Structure 1
Amino acid sequence: MFRTALGSRVHDENGRSYLDFFAGAGALNYGHNHPQLKSSLLLYLADDNIVHSLDKHTVAKRHFLEKFQEVVLSPRGLDYKIQFPGPTGTNAVEAALKLARKVTGRQTIVNFTNAFHGMTLGSLAVTGNSMKRNGAGVPLNHTVTMPYDNYLDGRTPDFLLFERLLEDSGSGIDRPAAVIVETVQGEGGLNPASAQWLRGLADLCRRHDILLIVDDVQMGCGRTGPFFSFEPAGITPDIVCLSKSLSGYGLPLALTLIRPDLDVWEPGEHNGTFRGFNPAFVTAAAALDFWTDERLQKETLEKGLQVRQALNLITAEHSDVITGVRGRGLAWGLVFNRPELAPRVCEAAFERGLLMETSGPEGEVAKLLPPLTTSDEELTEGLELLAESVQAVCEKQPA
């Protein structure tokens, strides 16, 4: 029964401490109750500033929009209109899909194997996991699934099938409105797409007049190093979905970033009661202070290298059950050859005071998402606990 949390640690009601390498499934990139963000939030609330405002203009909203433009968009040469679609990541995705269909007049959306984009019907339709899709209870239509990077183990050239289907009028595939992609598939098993593959996808979309949507809900806000996960590939998506760590404090907030000429919404056509949560604007603006220089990005990449090296050592010691290490930045996973082993490792880690989760189509990946602000000492401690947990699980396996 958890009670308090600070930084990379949470405490239960009996005072036991746990290292949090789950971080709200990526919603706590700056850790729990970061003092800088908490101070801004408490000051805002203490002065009776507005909390709920529907779509009214507020000082908090203005400050966030101005700072997001100044700190994030302008330095990267990105020109987007900013839509507040609703409070969560799936709301950002739903708005993106709906807008792409409205702009193009087409219905089909292309998604990729092992993708995860949310739990509402539109987002589920472009999600690969069969268990989650079955929960819809209705047919999930108007989508076509294509192989993600390296899905076929390099046996065919990138986009050979995709391009052929687009060019063949007899393929039975309607011309798509958009493609939606994660640059690193988090829930799908920590599958990173190469920069070359992403550039190829962007080029294909451009040549065939298909909108490119990047779902950066879990891997955005610095999880892979840079603020946007697509930056190293040098691509500019037509639409970007952001949420999770956007508020920096675990408060619900989501954005759909839209290429300006795509903003064809009619007034009130896509509205909602909680589209802009003012306390989240306050903490989100404060969190942007982490991005006024390159320090956090550099530290994240350095820590990611430390994690990768530690996971490689664990893999070398248990190569009979671990088939690989996947990830980027501070999102990493150990891939087990038997799906039941990953949750056992997470259970053993919990017993030792480490919080983590599983991912992948069969839950076969033990997944690490430590806060970006995790100290070197905490990172070392957590990786040692993980190594002990893997060892403990392996010792229980039949010879």
Structure 2
Amino acid sequence: MTNSEQKDLLVFERRESAVRSYCRAFPKMFDRAVNATIYGADDKEYIDFLAGCASLNYGHNDPDMKQALIDFISRDGIAHGLDMHTNAKRDFLETFHSRILAPRNMDYRTMFTGPTGANAVEAALKLARKVTGRTNVISFTNGFHGMTLGALATTGNAGKRGGAGTELSGVHRAPFDGYFGDNVDTAEQLDILLSDSSAGIDAPAAILVEAVQGEGGLNVASKEWMQKMQAIAKKHGALFIVDDIQAGCGRTGTFFSFEEMDIEPDIITMAKSLSGMGLPFAVTLFKPELDIWKPGEHNGTFRGNNHAFITAKVAIEKFWSDDTFQAEIKEKSEFLEQRLQSIADKYGFSLKGRGMMKGIDCGSGEAAADICEHAFENGVIVETSGSDDEIVKILAPLTIEKETFAKGLDIIETAFDCTLVDKNQRSAAE
């Protein structure tokens, strides 16, 4: 790092809160980005395997979204509209229905909740409790649903929960699919507990689950397990909520992560890549009969982000009007799996995840962190995941060029080789 860069970064050290995190792992001044490549202020190139934590599934600065947004701003289009009627919101709603919901035979109301996924989760929890008249929510081990108090209560990570500063209640934690190994049916366990009035678990308002646990370690729920969970929710009078904030918008291969599971959630939360361009945008989808909100009962100042409506509409039209993009995701997912499986086999590690959210379990957070640091030093931005940050997690843009993807994975493989060989040599010397 040059003296000039060090001086620039001191501004953040002096002026920004200590809560900052990603910049500590990637100490670099970044300036611009195109698709899957980020450029430092010194023009050094970095391949982006983080993609804004899956907020940039369509890459950085997609030209069509960028032009649509420039045109909208140039004609003085309304940027901030609360929840008032605007052309931009109407066009998004119609496009989302005609291109996403209707082709999948999905009938849902769309609620604009505010800028973050946590807002969408908060709205989902409030609605479930309002509809059922119950307070308890079932969430799962290693689940992550946001950092606001309600969403944080449903999150499993002790480190995240520890920052709450208050009691986090109203939630019962159940074991996720495979938590005790392949031979233990955790869905059956939950059903038995909920069926026993003396088990000590209050009747739930909702069961909240991710099909793939993004932050929790890329744990994948099976189709059969998700179907059982939906049936359990119905049997016990609870609403079935799927958090599709990180796994949605094509990340697992289909627009919704649960599309091939033959389930029909009562409520779905979405954010991250929904705007198409990394703009703040979140929604809660729910079946029409659940729409018992009173006007203004849940709101947010920035729920009417018209800039996000503009880019989201373009993203849907460009990438989801036919099956072409989905086929491209499948091809890249298979390539990613092949490359990561080869690395995992070399070191006796395991492959985690599904679609274009995959990673390698390195067995320890220290090893994973060292690998990510080596990758960054050589031009790849990649993060960790899991209870102990033991997973090297690949979240490349779905639009990444094949050559760039291969180059980035070459750097990842070299990072594994150099880091683990060096570590083994040090251990042998000791």
TM-score (norm 2): 0.91
The residue number in structure 1 matching 2:174 is 146
Q: Shift of the alpha carbon at 1:104? A: 0.3
| Mapped partners of 1:300, 1:134: distance in 2 | 37
Cα displacement string for residues 165-210 of structure 1 (whole angstroms, at most 9, x for unaligned residues) = 1111111111000000000000001111111111111111122221
| Mapped partners of 1:395, 1:217: distance in 2 | 37
Tell me the SS of whatever aligns to 1:84: strand
Tell me the SS of whatever aligns to 2:204: coil
The residue number in structure 1 matching 2:54 is 26
Tell me the SS of whatever aligns to 1:3: strand
Amino acid at match of 2:404: E
The residue number in structure 2 matching 1:343 is 369
Tell me the SS of whatever aligns to 1:177: strand
The residue number in structure 2 matching 1:39 is 67
Give yes or no for the alignment of 1:82 onto 2:144: no
The residue number in structure 1 matching 2:336 is 307
Structure number with the higher helix fraction is 2
Tell me the SS of whatever aligns to 1:51: coil
The residue number in structure 1 matching 2:12 is none
Tell me the SS of whatever aligns to 2:65: helix
State which of 244, 257, 274 in structure 2 corresponds to 1:246.
274
Q: Shift of the alpha carbon at 1:160? A: 2.5
Amino acid at match of 2:247: M
The residue number in structure 2 matching 1:62 is 90
| Mapped partners of 2:288, 2:142: distance in 1 | 30
Give yes or no for the alignment of 1:330 onto 2:359: no
| Mapped partners of 2:152, 2:367: distance in 1 | 27
State which of 386, 391, 396 in structure 2 corresponds to 1:360.
386
Amino acid at match of 1:82: T
Amino acid at match of 1:377: E
| Mapped partners of 1:272, 1:338: distance in 2 | 40
Q: Shift of the alpha carbon at 1:38? A: 0.2
State which of 263, 268, 274 in structure 1 corresponds to 2:302.
274
| Mapped partners of 1:337, 1:249: distance in 2 | 34
Cα displacement string for residues 369-391 of structure 1 (whole angstroms, at most 9, x for unaligned residues) = 00000111111111111000001
Amino acid at match of 1:334: I
State which of 186, 211, 217 in structure 1 corresponds to 2:245.
217
Q: Shift of the alpha carbon at 1:317? A: 1.6
Give yes or no for the alignment of 1:112 onto 2:134: no
Q: Shift of the alpha carbon at 1:112? A: 0.4
Unaligned runs of 5+ in 2: 1-28
| Mapped partners of 1:311, 1:78: distance in 2 | 35
TM-score (norm 1): 0.98
The residue number in structure 2 matching 1:179 is 207
The residue number in structure 1 matching 2:24 is none
Cα displacement string for residues 210-261 of structure 1 (whole angstroms, at most 9, x for unaligned residues) = 1000000001001001100010101110000000000011100001001101
Unaligned runs of 5+ in 1: none
Give yes or no for the alignment of 1:291 onto 2:320: yes
- Kindly indicate whether the alpha-carbon contact (under 8 Å) linking 2:88 and 2:306 is maintained by their aligned counterparts in 1: yes
Q: Shift of the alpha carbon at 1:302? A: 1.3
| Mapped partners of 1:155, 1:328: distance in 2 | 21
Tell me the SS of whatever aligns to 1:396: helix
Amino acid at match of 1:326: K
Give yes or no for the alignment of 1:392 onto 2:421: no
Q: Shift of the alpha carbon at 1:155? A: 3.4
| Mapped partners of 2:355, 2:184: distance in 1 | 28
- Kindly indicate whether the alpha-carbon contact (under 8 Å) linking 2:177 and 2:187 is maintained by their aligned counterparts in 1: no
Tell me the SS of whatever aligns to 2:284: strand
Tell me the SS of whatever aligns to 1:42: helix
- Kindly indicate whether the alpha-carbon contact (under 8 Å) linking 2:84 and 2:304 is maintained by their aligned counterparts in 1: no
The residue number in structure 1 matching 2:81 is 53
Cα displacement string for residues 265-311 of structure 1 (whole angstroms, at most 9, x for unaligned residues) = 11111111111200000000000021000111111111111111111
The residue number in structure 1 matching 2:397 is 371
Tell me the SS of whatever aligns to 1:25: helix
Amino acid at match of 1:388: T
State which of 267, 288, 294 in structure 2 corresponds to 1:260.
288
Structure 1 ranges of 4+ moved more than 3 A: none
Aligned residue pair count:
396
Identical-residue share of aligned pairs (%): 49
Give yes or no for the alignment of 1:192 onto 2:240: no
Q: Shift of the alpha carbon at 1:158? A: 3.7
Cα displacement string for residues 115-141 of structure 1 (whole angstroms, at most 9, x for unaligned residues) = 000000000000000000000010100
Cα displacement string for residues 88-114 of structure 1 (whole angstroms, at most 9, x for unaligned residues) = 100000000000000000000000000
- Kindly indicate whether the alpha-carbon contact (under 8 Å) linking 2:178 and 2:185 is maintained by their aligned counterparts in 1: no
Tell me the SS of whatever aligns to 2:407: helix
| Mapped partners of 2:117, 2:364: distance in 1 | 31
Q: Over aligned residue pairs, what C-alpha RMSD do you find?
A: 0.8
| Mapped partners of 2:345, 2:72: distance in 1 | 51
| Mapped partners of 1:293, 1:375: distance in 2 | 20
| Mapped partners of 1:222, 1:269: distance in 2 | 32
Larger mean Cα displacement after TM superposition, 378-387 or 150-159: 150-159
